[in-house]
Amino acid sequence: MKPVAFEYCRPDTLAEALGLLAERRSEAALLAGGMSLGPMLNLRMVRPKTVIDISRLPGLDGIALRGDRVITGATVIQADALASPVIRDALPLLVLALPWVGHFQTRNSGTLGGSVAHADPSAEIPLCLVVADATVVLRSARKERRVPARGFFTGALSTVRREDEMVVALDWPRAPADAGHAFEEIAQRHGDFAIAAAACALTLDGARRIATLALGLGGVEDRPIAIDTAAFIGRPADPDTARAIAGSIDERIAPMEDHAASADYRRALARVLVERVVPRAAEAATGGPRRGAA
Binding residues among 93-152 for another protein as defined by CB under 8 A = 99, 102-106, 108-109, 118-121
44 three-state secondary structure:
coil
The CB-of-71 to another protein minimum distance in angstroms stands at: 24
Map the footprint of another protein across residues 219-238, applying CB under 8 A.
222
Does position 158 interact with another protein (CB under 8 A)? The reply is: yes
Map the footprint of another protein across residues 73-92, applying CB under 8 A.
79
Does position 190 interact with another protein (CB under 8 A)? The reply is: yes
Contact present, 190 and 104 (Cβ < 8 Å): no
Does position 189 interact with another protein (CB under 8 A)? The reply is: yes
Contact present, 76 and 168 (Cβ < 8 Å): no
Residue 127 or 269: which CB sits closer to another protein?
269
Residue 33 or 180: which CB sits closer to another protein?
33
From the list 8, 55, 44, the residue with the least C-alpha distance to 28 is: 8
Beta 196-204 vs 158-159: how paired, if at all?
A: unpaired
From the list 184, 212, 213, 209, the residue with the least C-alpha distance to 199 is: 184
Residue 103 or 208: which CB sits closer to another protein?
103
> Which segment (31-39, 89-97, 131-139, 170-178) binds another protein by CB under 8 A?
31-39
The CB-of-159 to another protein minimum distance in angstroms stands at: 8
Does position 4 interact with another protein (CB under 8 A)? The reply is: yes
**Size of residue set near another protein by CB under 8 A:** 76
Residue 16 or 178: which CB sits closer to another protein?
16
Does position 9 interact with another protein (CB under 8 A)? The reply is: yes
Gap between the Cα atoms of 4 and 256, Å rounded: 31
Gap between the Cα atoms of 85 and 82, Å rounded: 8
Does position 286 interact with another protein (CB under 8 A)? The reply is: no
Which of 15, 160, 231, 233 is close enough to bind another protein by CB under 8 A? Answer: 160
Does position 54 interact with another protein (CB under 8 A)? The reply is: no
From the list 52, 48, 77, the residue with the least C-alpha distance to 62 is: 77
Does position 5 interact with another protein (CB under 8 A)? The reply is: yes
DSSP 216-265: EEESSSSS-EEEP-GGGTTSBSSHHHHHHHHHHHGGG-----BTTB-HHH
Does position 48 interact with another protein (CB under 8 A)? The reply is: yes
Does position 191 interact with another protein (CB under 8 A)? The reply is: yes
Angle at 120 between CA 64 and CA 153, to 5 degrees: 70
DSSP 117-134: HHT-TT-HHHHHHHHTT-
The CB-of-120 to another protein minimum distance in angstroms stands at: 8
